[in-house]
Structure 1
Amino acid sequence: MNKYNRRIYLIIILIINFILTGCWDNNELDTISIVTGLGIDAAENDDEIDLTLQVSKIKGTTGYEKGAVGQGSSFFVMEATDSGILSGIDKLEKQIPRSIFLHHNQVIIFGKEQAKKGIKKYMDVFIREHQMRMETWVLISDSTAKDILTATMEQEENSAIGLSKMIYSESRDYEVLSTKLIDLTSKMMEKTTSPVIPIVTVNSENGNSEAEISGLAILKEDKYIGELDLERVRGYSWIMGNCREIPFNIKTEHGYADTSISNIKLKNKPKFGADGPFISIDFKGDVSIREIQGFEDMKTNEIFAILQRSCVEQLKKEILDCFNYSKNLNADIYGFGTEFYRKYPKNFEKLREYWDEIYPELDMEIDINLEITDTGKVLNSLYMEEKTDENR
């Protein structure tokens, strides 16, 4: 057999191998139930949880579909009450002819009541079990996890997959509105940090539901203690330095402006002063003007000066409002304690055990520098141009 024929035979063998592999994968789909969402709610017994699994229906396959949500639904739900997550899954597997497959799970959702009790002891399985992915999104439901996973979304056949897409979209502007399992685990390991987790709310109307991120849940020692609404979320985001181009509306006595802030450069500096530790914030950013209303009989440079000053004042107000709220809860959502430890490991080692007493008294110094760099296609509004023409 010459070299040419050998190559032909080798190509044929490879093609057959790919075809057979595809058939093998198709057969495997008939033996597994693919979980797309996992929910944990508080049970009547304090030592147990109500576990909810959202399982995707695979087109072209037949099998167990108990708990299907509506005709034509692309998923069904399975429920169990048990003391642990894996033991609950084992209980469900005994009721069905397929193996439960967790590797494609999109979201882990804790019900609000369970979050108030604590989530730490249920985190172990997520970081230990091989099928669990550390990139999975973690959420807290404003009601129960079951409510979220059984909801039928108007634009998405599968609510868990729809949530995953929504989180990805929201996080393009505010990264703090997304929490991955790996990030939450890391924050929970920091002794002084209070982790935050996005809160998901479902509004139902006419049989369909719309999900939205309504804020951030604040955890203290793994328990829900409060939340940031969306206004405070923005104040939190400025300090965390993970905003992109953010819409920023300004109202003054002279008029209204729709602006955006981008190219943000932030430096958080933990320092020790005469009165103790404090945080120094250096914030720089570019302002783009998208729309202006009002400001009649004013020159362009006067308007820009007013807008620049107003942006700085409002930005500082939003930052301090969120910071003071976190101090009232005694929850270091920013990880400032960790920053002090990194910069002053020897000094802060003595202060770490007293951080709960220090944080509510922590001061913040803010230096904000904003520059108007973009006015759109025109510099003046129409009425400004009219005023200029009258004065020529």
Structure 2
Amino acid sequence: MRKNNYLAINIGICLFLLLPTIGCWSRYELNTLAVVIGMGLDKIEETGKIQVTAQIFNPGEKKSTAKNKGDGGSSQSFWNLKNSGDNLLEVIQGLSHKSNRKIYLADNQVIIFSNAIAKEGVQKYIDFFARNNETRMNVWVLVAKNQASQVLAVSPELESTSAVQIAQLVDAQSATSEASRVNLEKFISRLMSKTDAAIAPIVEVTGEGDDKSLSVSGTAVFKKDKLVGQLNRTETRGLLWVLDEIKNGVIVVDSPSGDGKVSLLITRSKSKITPLIMDEDIRFKIGIKEEGNIGYQSSQENLIKPPIIEELEKEQAAVIESEVIAALEKAKKLNVDIFCFGDLIHQQYPDEWLALKDRWDEVFPTINLEFAIQAKLRRTGRIGSLAVLEKE
């Protein structure tokens, strides 16, 4: 018995020592890979072919001090490799003919669709990324205001590559709540829904010449798989209030005295959406609890007085309501359910949903909202009023 125990222990030790080598057959040496960190899809207007721009990280080079050397090169830390064709899989595989390394997608940070590609329809392109076993489902999905290749050609000031900067800009949107944050998993989920509209943040190139920079703001809106419109920053934040995705941001209101503005910092937010159905009347109760601090004032009144605080809280709630209404009006105009209202009815009124699901496009523009918004100011900062230097 003891001998058998020793044998079992020895076998266990051997198996444990073999664990680090399991899976090594599929590993690659870094110097054999062309690591893609950003990918852009464009439509060539003259030929109708797909153009893929794969931004490849060049770890052997430091970032160039010269700005906007579009396609990268020997002095930059990235290389924009391009290929075109009729089929996305063939185009991406064809990138290997232009590089002496294996194209590696597992570290990709962003997928950017050009405006033209998005309007044409993205499902046939998403199919590749959904099936490819190297593609991570948490890669960010964006729509370029114009061409995706132009976005990836910008050389950023602080980051090594434009793809990394774009990914960080999307991450940083929690500070302003003026752009949606959508990864591949979330985008596919909305595309597959029979009622929910897919959305994605918008990235654009601003400035000219050596002053070009990248900006992520607003939201691209899809009907099925085609781009049909966009939300501006205000409408986007209205959408994010409903989706319970507001983290931080600034709300600017009029000073109660009327002689300036007060900027309020959003510190906490929680939203709850409740569908209400009575006969043919379909409405949604928008419950939002928000907390904030006073961040700045251009008026001279003392803001720590209770009546002033109450007035600011009312104005804060009014701004939140107006942003949600702006988002709903745009969604009704485009006739797209960007709020996932259809799913909420399906979950809470399954029987009623059976009669609604096939005509949701007709019903959605007729829905109404009820609001229950609580806005609280917790802190006023270290001063109560603007310090004014008296003239001598």
Match runs of 1:38-49 below 5 Å? 38-44=39-45, 48-49=49-50
Give the aligned partner of residue 187 of structure 2.
184
TM-score, with structure 2 as normaliser: 0.84
Please, what is the CA RMSD of the aligned residues? 2.8
Q: CA shift at 1:311, angstroms?
A: 1.5
Q: CA shift at 1:204, angstroms?
A: 4.2
Matched, 1:336 2:337: no
Aligned equivalents of 2:83, 2:50: Cα separation in 1: 8
Deviation digits for residues 359-386 of structure 1 (CA, Å, limit 9, x no counterpart): 1111011111222222223445558xx9
- Percent sequence identity over matched residues? 28
Aligned equivalents of 2:165, 2:346: Cα separation in 1: 39
Q: Which stretch shows the higher mean deviation, 212-221 or 201-210? A: 201-210
Give the aligned partner of residue 214 of structure 1.
217
Three-state SS of the structure 1 residue aligned to 2:195 is coil
Q: Which stretch shows the higher mean deviation, 323-332 or 71-80? A: 71-80
Runs of 4+ in structure 1 deviating by more than 6 angstroms, as ranges, are none
Match of 2:96 among 93, 112, 116: 93
Aligned equivalents of 1:208, 1:292: Cα separation in 2: 32
2:81/2:95 contact within 8 Å kept: yes
Contiguous gaps of at least 5 residues in structure 1: 1-13, 61-66, 387-392
Q: Which stretch shows the higher mean deviation, 74-83 or 255-264? A: 255-264
Deviation digits for residues 309-348 of structure 1 (CA, Å, limit 9, x no counterpart): 2212222111111111111110111110111111112210
Q: CA shift at 1:42, angstroms?
A: 1.6
Give the aligned partner of residue 303 of structure 1.
308
Contiguous gaps of at least 5 residues in structure 2: 1-16, 62-69
Aligned equivalents of 1:205, 1:272: Cα separation in 2: 52
Paired amino acid for 1:38: M
Q: CA shift at 1:68, angstroms?
A: 4.8
Change (3 A) 1:327 1:46: farther
Change (3 A) 1:298 1:370: closer
1:326/1:333 contact within 8 Å kept: yes
Change (3 A) 1:351 1:300: same
2:234/2:326 contact within 8 Å kept: no
Deviation digits for residues 71-114 of structure 1 (CA, Å, limit 9, x no counterpart): 51111122222222221122221343221111111111100011
Paired amino acid for 2:200: I
1:175/1:242 contact within 8 Å kept: no
Paired amino acid for 1:258: S
Aligned equivalents of 1:92, 1:285: Cα separation in 2: 49
Matched, 1:31 2:56: no
Q: CA shift at 1:194, angstroms?
A: 0.8
Change (3 A) 1:382 1:163: closer
Three-state SS of the structure 2 residue aligned to 1:93 is helix
Q: CA shift at 1:245, angstroms?
A: 2.9
Give the aligned partner of residue 159 of structure 2.
156
Deviation digits for residues 259-281 of structure 1 (CA, Å, limit 9, x no counterpart): 12333222100110244211111
Give the aligned partner of residue 6 of structure 1.
none
Give the aligned partner of residue 372 of structure 2.
367
